[in-house]
């Protein structure tokens, strides 16, 4: 499955909208620390993040496993006046286009072999921005809103689970973590590749 279970970037629920503002503010702050150049987004979903960079002057490419969600990303980029190349591909089967900055946000929790994916990604760009849901906060918040009770708050498709410390330790195996943000309920890290 590709894309989001719902359009979280345009959420009407005031709590969800507040949380997404924190996520996007952290994203904007961290990406501003990298000189503008070429960016590639792995698992771009509907293209919200890579579109933000395109509108800030970056040369941008995004890909996702779902052709349907890529069609949505193309339409939204065109509507926003953002020039971005989009294509459909699986992270394990594609040669990631080289770039100055790699984005991998809300993806690794869906990947069966995240270490293999991280090895591959570390060779694609000198800088990378990663984010994942912060556990157990993520599940607790899901349960508080009455979601996914039978799975103890686990969002469908999430097969990897990291605390903030655990995720930073995981990234540190291939990257130097430069700066971290913890917008509730995520962990987000700007990294420099050691590959």
Q: State the pTM of this model.
A: 0.92
Catalogue all structural domains in the chain, each as residue range(s) with its CATH number.
Answer: 8-193 (3.40.50.150)
How much is the mean pLDDT over the chain? Answer: 92
Question: Which H/E stretch holds residue 72?
Answer: helix 67-80
Query: Looking at residue 17, what is its pLDDT?
Result: 84
Coil, strand or helix at 173 = coil
Q: What is the largest CA-CA distance in the chain?
A: 45
Confidence (pLDDT) at 55: 96
Query: pLDDT by residue (tens digit) across 115-144?
Result: 999 999 999 999 999 999 999 999 998 898
Q: What distance lies between CA 127 and its chain's CA centroid? A: 14
Long-range contacts of 151-157 (CB under 8 A, 24+ apart): 155/5, 156/1, 156/5, 157/1, 157/109, 157/110
Give CA–CA dist 50/38, Å, rounded.
11
């Amino acid at each position: 499955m590709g894309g989001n279970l719902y359009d979280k970037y345009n959420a009407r629920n005031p709590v969800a909208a507040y949380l997404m503002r924190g996520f996007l503010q952290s994203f904007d702050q961290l990406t501003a620390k990298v000189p503008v150049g070429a960016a590639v987004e792995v698992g771009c979903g509907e293209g919200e993040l890579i579109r933000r960079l395109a509108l800030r002057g970056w040369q941008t490419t995004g890909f996702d496993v779902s052709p349907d969600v890529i069609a949505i990303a193309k339409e939204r980029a065109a509507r926003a006046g953002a020039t971005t190349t989009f294509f459909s591909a699986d992270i394990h089967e594609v040669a990631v286009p080289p770039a100055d900055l790699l984005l991998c946000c809300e993806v690794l929790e869906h990947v069966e072999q995240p270490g293999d994916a991280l090895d591959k990604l570390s060779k694609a760009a000198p800088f990378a921005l990663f984010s994942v849901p912060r556990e157990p906060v993520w599940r607790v918040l899901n349960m508080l809103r009455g979601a996914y009770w039978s799975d103890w708050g686990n969002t469908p498709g999430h097969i990897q689970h990291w605390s903030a410390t655990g995720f930073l330790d995981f990234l540190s195996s291939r990257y130097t973590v430069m700066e971290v943000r913890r917008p509730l309920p995520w962990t987000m890290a700007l990294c420099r590749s050691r590959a």
